[in-house]
């Protein structure tokens, strides 16, 4: 949602000014705040690209320098917001970019972060390992070095289904752990894992090497359905931290069948949804519809 919201407003914009209010928000940037500011000011934004939780904005070239991008990670509570120049600063504003655009006029791109787990950084772009476009939003087969280890997500046109199924079959772990493994597949958080597993009738702890190819295909199809529906509904917002670039909340939370529904009736069979402790969070599922199958 953030990538899609930024694209029409910032592509082609020139970064006229940069202000760093919180140096800790540059933890992934190799260099001090002054270096970050100097390397950004005067450059233009050429695209908005995403893979998993990483967003990057390829920058216009500098003479004699390697291709670079501004890399953004939202962490747990980060927000990238488009603001008018005269709007009052948010209390938790960490970095501000002043943009000059021909399409929408001058505006600000504000990085707001309550817990300061998110970050911005300028990073070198390197070739993708499979020579395909690096992520959604650009045809360039170049990816920030900080993002190169992250697997493609299932909505990426270059996602390789067969490769995913083969890797899944070799794993000896629970299926939800596999879905949350960013080295195997990206873009599926706790909420969407629970929803996809419910839709597929698969228990969250079902061993990956016991899934048939047919069930794995069903699961991947449901993952894509869930993600596309969530995008169409603006994402899932449980509080004011999870908003799009205009500060608006998503409403996919009204479409949840399993996540956060413990104690409520399963929409499919009517029995109560259960919540189990899982990796310092929770797994929500229907014990009747999603039975753990014997190996």
Which domains, from first to last, does the chain contain? 2-144 (3.20.190.10), 161-285 (1.10.8.50)
Report the chain's mean pLDDT, rounded to a whole number: 91
> What is the value of pTM for the model shown?
0.89
Q: What is the pLDDT of residues 265-277, one digit of tens each?
A: 999 999 999 999 9
Q: Average the pLDDT over 151-170 and give the result.
A: 95
pLDDT band at 149 (very low <50, low <70, confident <90, very high): very high
Which has the closest alpha carbon to 234: 223, 247, 244? 244
Q: What is the pLDDT of residues 183-216, one digit of tens each?
A: 999 999 899 999 999 999 999 999 999 999 999 9
Does the structure show a pLDDT above 90 at 262? yes
Does the structure show a pLDDT above 60 at 234? yes
Q: What is the pLDDT of residues 15-47, one digit of tens each?
A: 999 999 999 999 999 999 999 999 999 999 999
Q: Average the pLDDT over 248-258 and give the result.
A: 69
């Amino acid at each position: 949602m953030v990538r899609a919201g930024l694209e029409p407003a910032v592509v082609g914009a020139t970064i006229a000014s940069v202000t760093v209010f919180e140096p800790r928000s540059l933890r992934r940037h190799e260099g001090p705040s002054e270096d970050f500011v100097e390397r950004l000011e005067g450059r233009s934004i050429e695209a908005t690209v995403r893979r998993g939780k990483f967003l990057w904005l390829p920058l216009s070239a500098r003479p004699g320098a390697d291709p670079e991008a501004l890399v953004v990670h939202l962490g747990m509570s980060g927000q990238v917001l488009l603001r008018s120049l005269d709007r009052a600063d948010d209390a938790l504003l960490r970095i501000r970019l002043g943009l000059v655009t021909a399409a929408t006029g001058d505006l600000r791109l504000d990085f707001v972060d309550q817990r300061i787990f998110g970050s911005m950084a300028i990073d070198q772009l390197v070739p993708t390992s499979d020579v395909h476009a690096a992520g959604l939003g650009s045809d360039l087969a170049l990816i920030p070095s900080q993002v190169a280890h992250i697997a493609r997500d299932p909505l990426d046109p270059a996602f390789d289904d067969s490769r995913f199924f083969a890797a899944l079959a070799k794993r000896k772990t629970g299926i939800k752990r596999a879905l949350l493994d960013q080295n195997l597949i990206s873009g599926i958080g706790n909420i969407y894992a629970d929803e996809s597993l419910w839709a597929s009738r698969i228990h969250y702890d079902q061993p990956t090497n016991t899934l048939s190819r047919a069930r794995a295909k069903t699961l991947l199809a449901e993952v894509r359905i869930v993600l596309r529906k969530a995008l169409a509904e603006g994402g899932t917002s449980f509080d004011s931290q999870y908003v799009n670039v205009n500060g608006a909340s998503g409403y996919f939370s009204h479409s949840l069948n399993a996540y956060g529904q413990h104690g409520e009736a399963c929409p499919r069979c009517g029995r109560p949804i259960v919540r189990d402790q899982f990796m310092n969070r929770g797994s929500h599922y229907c014990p009747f519809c999603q039975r753990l199958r014997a190996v």
